[in-house]
Chains A and B, each alone.
Chain A
Amino acid sequence: MDMKPIAFKRVSQEESATFDRSVIDYIQNAAAHGLYEIRGLGAKRKLPHFDDLLFLAGSLSRYPLEGYREKCVTKTLLGTRFAKKPVELDIPITIAGMSFGALSANVKESLGRAASEMGTSTTTGDGGMTQEERGSSKTLVYQCLPSRYGFNPDDVRRADAIEVVIGQGAKPGGGGMLLGQKVNPRVAKMRTLPEGVDQRSACRHPDWTGPDDLAIKIQELRELTDWEKPIYVKVGATRVFNDVKLAVHSGADVVVVDGMQGGTAATQTCFIEHVGIPTLAAVRQAVDALEDLNMKGQVQLIVSGGIRTGADVAKALAMGADAVALGQGILFALGCNAETYVQDGQHHSALESYDALGTAPGFCHHCHTGKCPVGVTTQDEVLEQRLHPDVGARRVRNYLKTLNMELTTIARACGKQNVHHLEREDLVALTIEAAAMAGVPLAGTSWVPGR
């Protein structure tokens, strides 16, 4: 019997590592439009992160605390250096600055309510302070940004702290952006802009240049508030060691360091993915700067950029942060990238809305379009109804509560009666990169690369 070979056609499927499908898509999109891509959220590339660190909990050489009954303090004080009225929080987990404009008024109200219930702070953004968020927030941090949209002395006086924003982790060196479809009449009025304009915020402050000027600017804010309120300085993570030192020199009570995983409502993708350093590396440098100046404990450090879980919070604190700030985590808690939204007590599918944006749940980063399928990052009258403030407030409160429980679970396991007692010595790294960046030994060794 004849054995004929089975005929088959060989299909070559060797993908290029340099020009993979996402790169080809990027090039062809650029070729079609002649304009860079703008999108929301933060860096999507894989980076060394808190996942690459592990805790060494109590055992024989260390003594753990009982996980449920023994006390573990989470109280957090911010602004003890100069302010007459420091901010006192029940938990070290705060809500980062996100603008009304980027977010709907319903969302801002949800954040204020959730933060107040949990005894923590929320923060305004590049669009001024809304009545909704002031009314719903027990502790509200008021941002002073380069654009100064809606910035006014009355809101400075009714804020609980002021945050001078130099930069943001998603786009250090870049200004904000709010595309025309989100500049509705209310947003336009608050920002003194024509309706529907593609708004580009300034990247530098209008009335000061450099750290010596900033010192005078901070003094102005102190004089204006009779030295009552803490002044934070927020920097996007780049030359963190020097920037933190200069912020301290300028008279900051609190320094906020935002790593490159930090989110944005809209900026160029090339900016999000290629500018700045990872949060893990930034925390280490920020703490080094404070220790170098002998200011650890006097000037507090808030870390943000990709904080997702209670374990992340615990690791940031162990590295030397006094508190963390969450942005994207809060958005996901609200329902960002969920398949459904809740309206009138019922779940409704948002799939069609994702499809209309050319995306799907789990992949959406279309905050910049204002067509958020779940009503979070929108100014559209219909879409914003997809997130009721009651639903939003409950979800964010639950999320913060979960993080805090996880944080204290880890702290107790490490034998700490106070989450602020977590220390670098409690940590080891899983990868050489993380060990080098975080300055902690590779697990199972005493090796800290570079030391």
Chain B
Amino acid sequence: MERVTFDLASTPLREVNGYLHRLPGGDQSHVDVKNPDGAHNIAVGLDQPVTVEIHGHAGYYAGGMNKQASVIVHGSAGTGVAENMMSGKVHVKGFASNGAGATAHGGLLVIDGDAGLRCGISLKGGDIVVGGSVGSFSAFMAQAGRMVICGDAGDALGDSLYEAVIYLRGEAKSLGADARFEPMTDADLKTLGDLLAAAGMDHDPKSFKRIASSRSLYHWNADANQEY
């Protein structure tokens, strides 16, 4: 398979993204990006089943709004990695900063290390698997999709959740408004097993707890005081 290499130390980012946007339909080629040096917006807006490997740390929005493509970050990723992803896969081998996978509508985001604040905020159908722990306010207002946390979570996990589901292996410092623990069903175990397998992690699904919305804030309620 054809393999193209870009060196961000000598090639402007605009050229790299432009190249990726002009790939012909169905293109499955392999692109390596060297010396990312924390550059922002690497491989954003991809729309072909191409594989992009970023060899080093990426800045903000790596793999942002991805469709179809597979983006691998051999390093850590800045704020908003895979934000608003529609499909495909983004894999961060290191750590991810704030807002990882924010508003993702589809696809799979895998973070081998920890993720910062607001991981999976406003998630809209995408899946996120975090090998480590997540910061506070993760899955805030998450609407749909699944979020797997193999480590611990900070404060206010799942605050104001809609229909997204969280699977947590460790402990949460606190749950947010309207989030609650629920029993794991067979369907949950199956879903979680598949997600862990897709992420290449081998934890026992039975070691996770399910967190979902109690749906008590779906409608205005004068007696709920300031809880929403």
Contact = CB atoms under 8 A, between A and B. Distances in A.
Interface residues of B, number: 44
A219 B41 contact: yes
Interface stretch (B79-87, B149-157, B190-198): B79-87
Contacts, number: 111
A213 B59 CA distance: 11
Contact of B219 (A157, A180, A225, A226): A180
Nearest to B215: A194
A219 to B, nearest CB: 6
A152 B83 contact: no
A223 B59 CA distance: 14
Contacts of B17: 223-224, 226
B39 to A, nearest CB: 10
Interface string A205-239: 01110000100110110011111000000000000
B194 to A, nearest CB: 21
Contacts of A225: 45
A192 interface: yes
Contacts of A147: 122
Given A147-B122, A206-B102, A219 B40 contact: yes
Interface string B1-26: 00000000000011001100100000
A194 B178 CA distance: 15
Nearest to B99: A207
B79 A207 contact: yes
B222 A34 contact: yes
A194 B215 CA distance: 10
A202 B65 contact: no
B103 A207 contact: yes
B164 to A, nearest CB: 10
B60 interface: yes
A191 B98 CA distance: 23
A56 to B, nearest CB: 48
Contacts of B124: 148, 192
Contacts of B13: 223
B36 to A, nearest CB: 14
Contacts of B188: none
B47 A153 contact: yes
Contacts of B83: 206-207
Nearest to B122: A206
B18 A207 contact: no
